[in-house]
Amino acid sequence: MRLRNPVLTHLLPAAATLALAASHAYAASNAHDKALKLPPGVSTGTCQENAAAYSVSTDLQKTSSRNFQDVSGTTVSFTQGAAGCVEVSFSSEAATVPGEILVTQALLDGTACLPSDNLFASDSPSSDLAAHAMNYICPNAGAGAHTVKVQFRSRYGHKVALDYRTTVVRYAQ
């Protein structure tokens, strides 16, 4: 369809640019969900780690769910030799549709590690996959058998995707 009104011809691209800029500004200013009760801004500590376990997955997984979904191929089981913390490193090719945010969290035995509700990927104008990474700390792992897994969700209910991914768990043997 061709617009014949020269004013509209110039205003429509400007309006579209303004709307796109406003959506990016909104996403940046409201990045983390304020309704979540997160721990204080800074957590520090030490970990005594001398063992690692990992999982690698190469299957594309998509969701539009606003509820956390298990990321296939990220479950890692291990036996912690002494009470202490566990580190979970997660990296993945990730993509979102424009204006969307892909949120991740790592769970140790069903409990979210720090930081939870991580903004893992956002605003891929082409929806192309690109590599992203995050480290999580699970501060209070007791001695014994444990399982770690990663979950993801869509922030606004639009399509997000994870593809090739690696989960590495560092723990005390």
Structure tokens at 171: 């723990």
Q: Is residue 165 part of a domain?
A: yes
The reply to whether 96 and 155 lie within a common domain is yes
pLDDT at 17 over 90: no
Indicate the average pLDDT of the chain.
83
Question: Looking at the structure, do residues 96 and 157 belong to the same domain, yes or no?
Answer: yes
Asked if 115 and 97 touch (Cβ cutoff 8 Å), the reply is: no
For residues 57 and 134, state if they share a domain: yes
36 in any annotated domain: no
Tell me how far apart the alpha carbons of residues 65 and 76 are, in angstroms, rounded to a whole number: 24
Residues 26 and 56 in one domain: no
* pLDDT tens-digit series, residues 20-47: 433 443 444 446 665 555 555 787 888 8
**95 and 14 in a common domain:** no
Same domain, 75 and 9: no
Contact indicator for 78, 169 with CB cutoff of 8 Å:
yes
Residues 26 and 58 grouped into a single domain: no
Domains of the chain: total = 2
Average pLDDT over residues 48-70: 96
13 lies in the same domain as 82:
no
CB 141 within 8 A of CB 85: yes
pTM for this prediction: 0.78
Between CA 162 and CA 127 the distance in angstroms is: 11
19 lies in the same domain as 104:
no
Residues 67 and 146 in one domain: yes
Q: Are residues 26 and 59 in the same domain?
A: no
**What's the CATH number where 136 sits?**
2.60.120.40
In a domain, residue 25? The reply is yes
Q: Is residue 44 part of a domain?
A: no
Q: Is residue 141 part of a domain?
A: yes
* Domain span including residue 84: 51-171
Are 61 and 13 members of one domain?
Answer: no
pLDDT digits (tens, 9 = 90+) for 128-157: 788 899 999 999 999 999 999 999 999 999
Tell me the one-letter amino acid at 19: A
Say if 37 falls within a structural domain. Answer: no
In a domain, 89, yes or no: yes
**Domain assignment present for 41:** no
